[in-house]
Amino acid sequence: MKNTLGDKSGMIYTFVVILVALFAVMVCYIALDQAVKVHIVDMGKENFNVSNSTMDNLVMVWDAFPFIFALSLFVMGLLAAMASSRYG
């Protein structure tokens, strides 16, 4: 049986892996969002005397994480697609 996709099967595989990784990380992020924002931040402020600015920075990084992760996966997919099309 002849491969009808040609060299594009590697690119399709790359984007499927990116979508699966994005889905898995976002499911974990959604599950842990309230735990980090409510319980861990409050515990750090009250029980361990961590400064408010440190906890605010933690929440800021936690809120920005999905966007940074999705953007990095998108760039990785573009670079992988360009590399496979250049040598194909």
Q: Assign 11 a pLDDT band (cuts: 50, 70, 90).
A: confident
Check the CA dihedral 10-11-16-19 and report its sign. positive
Percent of the chain with pLDDT over 90: 67
- Check whether 59 has a pLDDT greater than 50: yes
Judge whether 66 and 29 are in contact, CB under 8 Å.
yes
Q: Residue 17's closest CA among 66, 71, 80?
A: 80
Report the predicted TM-score, pTM, of the whole model to 2 decimal places. Answer: 0.75
| CB of 35 closer than 8 Å to CB of 29 | no
Residue 1 has what pLDDT?
47
Q: What is the pLDDT of residues 21-55, one digit of tens each?
A: 999 999 999 999 999 999 999 999 899 999 999 99
Predicted confidence at residue 7, as pLDDT, reads: 59
